[in-house]
C-alpha cells in the first residue's frame, strides 16, 4: 500500500514526462547505478525517508533507491519547491509522498512526521529539518538503532549538524554529502550559478548593463557572479570573509559592504546561508533603488528580510507567478521573488538534471555504503569516503565519453613520497 498526500493526482501523466526527461540526463543515477541496484538489491528491507525538494531529479533518486529494494518515503524540504506533477507521478510508482506546493509551516512538519512515522532506517535531508525533528520528537528511532545513519544534502544543513555535533547533541552517524567534491563543486556552483536565470524568469529582465549585487562569494554565489557577468551585468560582490572577498576582487568584481550597494542595485541576489544579509531596518529599505528586484537562492527565507519587508510595505501585489510587487509608504516599488525562498527552485525548475545526477549518484551509493557498514558507524559527522566521491566522478566522465590519465606507479610513489627533490 502506498501512503501519500499530494496536491492533485490527475497531474501524474505530466509528472511522468518530467521524470522521463530528467532520467535521460541522469546517466549515473538513473542508469548505471539504477541497473546495478535492480540486479543486486543492496537496499532490500531498508526504509529510506527523504526530506528533499520534490523535483523530477529527486524523483529519479527515489526510483533508483526503490530499484535497489528500499521502501521510499518523501516529503518536501521547502514549502514552495514541490513540483506537484512529479509528486503525483511518484505515488503511481509506489513511492510514499507527502508533499505539495505551497504548504504551511504546520503542514510542512506534518509531512515530515508522516515520513518519520514509517520508522525509516536512513534519512536523507536537505536543510536538516527532518533529522532535527527526529532528534526532538522521535528519539526512540535513534536509541533503538532503527535509524542507521543520515545524509545531508545542503550547506545550511551541514552547518546545523556541525553545531549539533559540537554541542554533543548529534546522536546519529551523519554524512555531509554536500561537502563531497562531486556535490558542492557542481550542484552548488553550476546549478545555483545558473539559478540567476530564475531572476530573469521572475521579471523577464535584461541583465546586460544592470548593477547586479551578489551577496556571498562561496560555492553558490561565486557561480552566480560568474554567470551574471557572462550576461553582461556589472557585478558587485558583498562578503564577510576576507579571503573570499579577495578572491572576488582578484576575479575582477567590485567588492563593498551591502549597504553601499543599495542605492544603485537593480538586482540583488543572496546565497550566503546567513540571516539578514540586508538588515531588516527601515533605513536600509529607504536606500533601495526604485524597482529593485530582490531574490534569495540560499536555503532559508531570512537572507533577505522577507517578513520585515512585508510588514513595511503598504501594499503587496502579486504580479506574476511567485513574484510580488511591494509598494512602500513613499510610493517606491520593489519586486520580491519567491517570497524570499529559493528562487531557482520556486521560479524555475531547480538545478538541471545533469548536475543533480552527481549529487544523487552520491546519495544512492552512500545509501548502499550505510547498509554495508551499518555495524561500524558511530554517531557524529563522518566524511563521505573519497572512493565514493571518485567513483561518481568517474561514472560521470564515462557517461560523457571523457577519458583521463591514470597515475603510473612511479608517479604515485613520487607524489606520495619525500625523498625525491632538487
Ligand X SMILES: NC(=O)c1ccc[n+]([C@@H]2O[C@H](COP(=O)([O-])OP(=O)(O)OC[C@H]3O[C@@H](n4cnc5c(N)ncnc54)[C@H](O)[C@@H]3O)[C@@H](O)[C@H]2O)c1
DSSP character at residue 76: E
Which residue number has the CB closest to ligand X? Answer: 218
Q: Whole-number minimum distance, CB 183 to ligand X, in Å? A: 9
Closer by beta carbon to ligand X, 68 or else 273: 273
What grid cell was written down for 192?
545555483
Q: Closest approach of Cβ 263 to ligand X, in Å?
A: 18
Burial 357-367 (b: 16+ CB within 10 A, else e): bbbbbbbbbbb
* Residue closer to ligand X (CB basis): 133 or 296: 296
Is the separation of the CB atoms in 277 and 340 below 8 Å?
Answer: no
DSSP label at residue 384: P
Decide whether 114 or 238 has the Cβ nearer to ligand X: 238
Angle (CA) 188-192-197 rounded to 5° is: 165
Which grid cell is 47?
A: 526504509
Nearest distance, CB of residue 177 and ligand X, angstroms: 12
- Report the nearest approach of ligand X to the CB of residue 359 (Å): 9
**Helix locations, 80-218, DSSP H:** 84-92, 105-117, 129-137, 139-143, 155-166, 181-183, 193-194, 197-203
At closest approach, how far in Å is the CB of 240 from ligand X?
4
Cell output for 196: 540567476
Using CB atoms within 10 A of its CB, is residue 253 exposed (0-12), middle (13-18) or buried (19+)? Answer: buried
Q: What residues contact 56, with CB distance under 8 A and at least 6 apart? A: 15, 18, 19, 21, 22, 83, 86, 349, 353
Closest approach of ligand X to the CB of residue 371, in Å? 26
The residue (of 70 and 309) whose beta carbon lies closer to ligand X is: 309
Which of 154/367 has CB closer to ligand X? 154
Residues forming contacts to ligand X in the complex (CB under 6 A) are: 154-156, 184, 188, 191-192, 195, 215-221, 238-241, 244, 271-274, 277, 297-299, 342, 344-345, 351
Copy the grid coordinates of residue 178. 554536500
The residue among 83 and 272 lying less far from ligand X, judged by its C-beta, is 272
Rounded distance between C-alpha atoms, residue 201 and residue 337, angstroms: 10
48 in Cβ contact with 72 (< 8 Å): yes
Would you state the cell numbers that stand for residue 126, as one nine-digit string? 536537505
SS3 (DSSP) at 291: coil
3 state DSSP class of 245: helix
Nearer to ligand X, 285 or 328 (CB): 285
Q: Which among 28, 243, 51 is positioned nearest to 133, based on CA atoms? A: 51
Burial 59-74 (b: 16+ CB within 10 A, else e): bbbbbbbbbbbbbbbb
What is the smallest separation between the CB atom of 143 and ligand X, expressed in angstroms? 29
Q: Which residue has the cell 543492496?
A: 42
- For ligand X, which is the closer residue by CB, 34 or 351? 351
* Residue among 19 and 297 whose Cβ is closer to ligand X: 297
Q: CB of residue 174 vs ligand X: minimum separation in angstroms?
A: 15
Distance in Å, CB of 244 to ligand X, minimum: 4
Amino acid at each position: 500500500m502506498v501512503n501519500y498526500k499530494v496536491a492533485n493526482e490527475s497531474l501524474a501523466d505530466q509528472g511522468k514526462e518530467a521524470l522521463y526527461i530528467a532520467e535521460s540526463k541522469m546517466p549515473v543515477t538513473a542508469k548505471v547505478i539504477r541497473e546495478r541496484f535492480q540486479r543486486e538489491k543492496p537496499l532490500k528491507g531498508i526504509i529510506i525517508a527523504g526530506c528533499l525538494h520534490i523535483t523530477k531529479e529527486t524523483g529519479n533518486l527515489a526510483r533508483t533507491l526503490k530499484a535497489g529494494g528500499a521502501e521510499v518515503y518523501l516529503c518536501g524540504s521547502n514549502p514552495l519547491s514541490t513540483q506537484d506533477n512529479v509528486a503525483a507521478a511518484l505515488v503511481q510508482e509506489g513511492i510514499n509522498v507527502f508533499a505539495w506546493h505551497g504548504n504551511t509551516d504546520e503542514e510542512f512538519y506534518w509531512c515530515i512526521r508522516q515520513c518519520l512515522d514509517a520508522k525509516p532506517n536512513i534519512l536523507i535531508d536537505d536543510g536538516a529539518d527532518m533529522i532535527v525533528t527526529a532528534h526532538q520528537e522521535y528519539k526512540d528511532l535513534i536509541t533503538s538503532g532503527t535509524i542507521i545513519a543520515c545524509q545531508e544534502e545542503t550547506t545550511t544543513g551541514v552547518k546545523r549538524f556541525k553545531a549539533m555535533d559540537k554541542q554533543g547533541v548529534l546522536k546519529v552517524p551523519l554524512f555531509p554529502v554536500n561537502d563531497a567534491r562531486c556535490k558542492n563543486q557542481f550542484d552548488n556552483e553550476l546549478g545555483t550559478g545558473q539559478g540567476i536565470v530564475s531572476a530573469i524568469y521572475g521579471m523577464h529582465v535584461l541583465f546586460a548593463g544592470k548593477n547586479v549585487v551578489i551577496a556571498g562569494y562561496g560555492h553558490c554565489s561565486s557561480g552566480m557572479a560568474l554567470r551574471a557577468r557572462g550576461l553582461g551585468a556589472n557585478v558587485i560582490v558583498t562578503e564577510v570573509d576576507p579571503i573570499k572577498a579577495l578572491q572576488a576582487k582578484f576575479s575582477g568584481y567590485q567588492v563593498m559592504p551591502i549597504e553601499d550597494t543599495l542605492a544603485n542595485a537593480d538586482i540583488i541576489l543572496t546565497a550566503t546561508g546567513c540571516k539578514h544579509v540586508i538588515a531588516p531596518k527601515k533605513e536600509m529599505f529607504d536606500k533601495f533603488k526604485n524597482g529593485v528586484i530582490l531574490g534569495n537562492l540560499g536555503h532559508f527565507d531570512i537572507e533577505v528580510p522577507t517578513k520585515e519587508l512585508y510588514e513595511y510595505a503598504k501594499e503587496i501585489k502579486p504580479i506574476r507567478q511567485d513574484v510580488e510587487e511591494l509598494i512602500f509608504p513613499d510610493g517606491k516599488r520593489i519586486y520580491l521573488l519567491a517570497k524570499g525562498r529559493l528562487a531557482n527552485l520556486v521560479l524555475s525548475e531547480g538545478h538541471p538534471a545533469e548536475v543533480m545526477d552527481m549529487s544523487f549518484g552520491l546519495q544512492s551509493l552512500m545509501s548502499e555504503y550505510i547498509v554495508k557498514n551499518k555495524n561500524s558507524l558511530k554517531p557524529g559527522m563522518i566524511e563521505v569516503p573519497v572512493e565514493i566521491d571518485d567513483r561518481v566522478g568517474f561514472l560521470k566522465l564515462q557517461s560523457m565519453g571523457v577519458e583521463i590519465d591514470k597515475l603510473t606507479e612511479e608517479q604515485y610513489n613520487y607524489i606520495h613520497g619525500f625523498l625525491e627533490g632538487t
